[in-house]
Amino acid sequence: MASRDMTKGSERTHLIAYAWPLILGNLLQLAYNAVDSIIAGRFIGKEALAAEGVAGPVMNLVILAISGMCIGAGVLMSEFFGAGKKERLRETVGTMLLSGGAVCLAVTLLGLALTPVLLYALQVPGDIFDIAVLYLRVTFLGAPFTFLYNALSAALKSVGDTKTPLWFLACSAILNAVLDLIFLGIFRFGILCSAVTTVVAEAVSAMLALIYLRKKVRDLWPGKGEWRIERTLGKKMLHYGLPTALQQAIQPICKLLIQGNVNALGLHAIAAFHACTRVDDFACIPEQSISSGMSTLIAQNRGAGKQERIRRGFLEGMKLEASYWVLIGLVTMIFRRYFVAAFVTGEGADTVITLGSEYLFYMAFFYLWPAMTNGVQGYFRGMGQMGITMVSTFIQAGLRALCSFFLTKTMGISGIAISSCIGWSCMLLFEVPLAVKSMRSLKTEKST
C-alpha cells in the first residue's frame, strides 16, 4: 500500500501528489457518467438525455450523502493514522462498513418505492416521465456498490493512498464506455441499458476495492473481533460524518430545486442545462480534489499535534486552488460551445448549444468562487469543524436556489450562473473571518 505520511516533508508536494490521482479518478468517474449522456443523446435522442438530466440530481442526492459519511469517517481515520493508532484505524473501517451498509440498503429500498413521487414533485414533463422513472430505479440499485467503493476508497485516502482507487475506477470507466458503445451505440438497446451498464461498472470498482483491501492492506482490513459497530467510534463518525453527509446532500437538494425551475423552461433548456452541469462537474472536481488533500494533510497533522504544518498546508492549498482556476477559466471560455455540442445532435441542437454556451460564458469567470470555498471547506473538515462547513453550505445552497427561482424567469439558465456566484460570495463572507480567527489561534498555540 502506497501510504503517505503528511506530517513531514513539503506540504505543497504532499498536496500535489495526493491530489493528482484523486483528480484523475474523479474525472474518470465523471467521464463514464458523461459517456452515458453523450451516447444517450446521440444514439437514443434528446428525450433520453433530458430523462437522464432530471433523474441525475435525485441520484446525486443519494450518492453525495453516501460520500459525505465516508468523507467524515475518512477525517477520523486520518487522525488515527497521524497519531499511529492502527488498531483504532481498523475498528473504524469495520464500523463504517457495517453501519453504512445497513443505512445504504434501507435508502435503496426506499428510493425504489418513491421514484415516481420524486419525479412528479420535480414537474418532469409527461413525454419523458416513464423513461425517467425506469432509468432512476435501475440506478438506485447501484447505490450499495457506490457506498462500498466510496467507503473503501476513503479508507485508502485517509492514509494518503489516492493512486490505488484510481486504478479501480479506471477499470470501471473503461468497462462502462465499452458496454455503452456496444449495447447503445451498436445494438441500440435504449435508456434502460444505459442505467444497467453504469450499475455494472460501479459493482466492478467496488469488488476490486474490496478484494484489494482484504488481500493486500492488513493495516486497514478489520481483524478478528474488529468486525463490529463500536459505539464510541460510531458516535465520532456521526459527529464528523452526519454534518458532512447533510452538507453533501444540501447541494443536490439545491440542484433538485433548480432543476424544477429549468424543467419549466422546456426540453431544450433541460438538455442544455444537463450538458452544462456535466461541464461544471469536470471544472470543479479538481478544486474538490485539492480540498480533499488539504483535509487529509490537516487531519493527519492535527492528530500529530503539528500546528505550523496545518497553517502552511492551508496556504499552499489555497495557492493551488487559485492557480487551477486560471487554467479552467480560460479553457471553458474558449471551448464552451464545443463542450455543449458534444452532448447533442440533430433537430434543436443549435438552440441547446446556444443556451449552454451562454451559461458557460458566465461560469468561466465564476469558477474562482468554488475554488476558494472548496479550499476553506477543506481546512475546516481537516480541523474537525464540520458544523461550520454545514452552515456555510446551507447559506450558499439556499441563496442559490432562491435567486435561481427569480433569475431563471428573466435570464433562463444563465440566471443559474449568476445565482451560483451570489451563493458562493455569501458563503465566503461567512467562512473567511472564521478561518482567519482559527489560523490565528494556531499561531497562539504554537507560541505558548
Please indicate, yes or no, if residue 65 is contained in any of the structural domains: yes
pLDDT tens for residues 329-353? Answer: 999 999 999 888 887 777 778 888 9
Tell whether the model's pLDDT for residue 448 goes beyond 60. Answer: no
Flag whether 72 is in a domain: yes
CA–CA gap between residue 169 and residue 208 (Å, rounded) = 9
Listed as own residue / partner, the contacts of 175-181 with beta carbons closer than 8 Å and 24 or more positions apart are: 175/200, 175/201, 175/204, 176/32, 176/35, 176/36, 176/200, 176/201, 177/31, 177/32, 177/35, 180/35, 180/36, 180/39, 181/39
94 located within any domain: yes
Task: For the chain, state the CA radius of gyration.
Answer: 21
Query: Which of 128-132, 370-374, 434-438 is the least confident region?
Result: 128-132
Reported as a pLDDT band with limits 50, 70 and 90, residue 277 is: confident
3-state secondary structure the chain: CCCCCCCCCCHHHHHHHHHHHHHHHHHHHHHHHHHHHHHHHHHHCHHHHHHHHHHHHHHHHHHHHHHHHHHHHHHHHHHHHHHCCHHHHHHHHHHHHHHHHHHHHHHHHHHHHHHHHHHHHCCCCHHHHHHHHHHHHHHHCCHHHHHHHHHHHHHHHHCCCCHHHHHHHHHHHHHHHHHHHHHHHHCCCCHHHHHHHHHHHHHHHHHHHHHHHHHHCCCCCCCCCCCCCCHHHHHHHHHHHHHHHHHHHHHHHHHHHHHHHHHCCCHHHHHHHHHHHHHHHHHHHHHHHHHHHHHHHHHHHHHHCCHHHHHHHHHHHHHHHHHHHHHHHHHHHHHHHHHHHCCCCCCCHHHHHHHHHHHHHHHHHHCHHHHHHHHHHHHHHHCCCHHHHHHHHHHHHHHHHHHHHHHHHHHCCHHHHHHHHHHHHHHHHHHHHHHHHHHHHHHHHHHC
- Residue 424 in any domain: the answer is yes
Q: What is the pLDDT of residue 446?
A: 57
From 199-213, 266-280, 350-364, the region with the lowest mean pLDDT: 266-280
Q: Is the separation of the CB atoms in 364 and 339 below 8 Å?
A: no
| Domains contained in the chain, number | 1
Residue 2 lies in a domain: no
Segment 268-276 shows an average pLDDT of: 85
Structural domain contains residue 63: yes
**85 or 401, which is more confident?**
401
Those residues with Cβ within 8 angstroms of residue 270's Cβ, 6 or more apart along the chain or in another chain: 50, 53, 54, 125, 262, 263
Mean pLDDT of the chain: 83
Mean pLDDT confidence for 39-58: 68
CA distance 422 to 263: 22
Most confident of 50-59, 247-256, 363-372, 407-416: 363-372
The answer to whether residue 1 is domain-embedded is: no
Domain membership of residue 28 as a residue range: 11-443
For residue 256, pLDDT over 80 is answered with: no
Model pTM score: 0.71
**Which pLDDT does position 240 carry in this prediction?**
79
- What pLDDT, on a 0 to 100 scale, did the predictor assign at position 447? 47
**Mean pLDDT, residues 256-270 taken together:** 83
Please tell me the predicted confidence (pLDDT) of residue 161. Answer: 83
Question: Mean pLDDT throughout 282-298?
Answer: 88
- Using alpha carbons, select from 101, 46, 51 the residue that is nearest to residue 73: 101
* Local confidence band at 189 (pLDDT 50, 70, 90 cut-offs): low
For residue 247, pLDDT beyond 80: no
For residue 127, the model assigns a pLDDT of 75
Q: Is the pLDDT of residue 191 over 50?
A: yes
Answer for the pair 304, 82: CB distance below 8 angstroms, yes or no: yes
Q: How far is it, in rounded angstroms, from Cα 244 to Cα 100?
A: 14
Structure confidence by residue, pLDDT tens digits, 407-423: 998 898 899 999 999 99
Calculate mean pLDDT across residues 311-323. 92
Domain presence at residue 181: yes
Q: How far apart, in whole angstroms, are the C-alpha atoms of residue 280 and residue 57?
A: 14
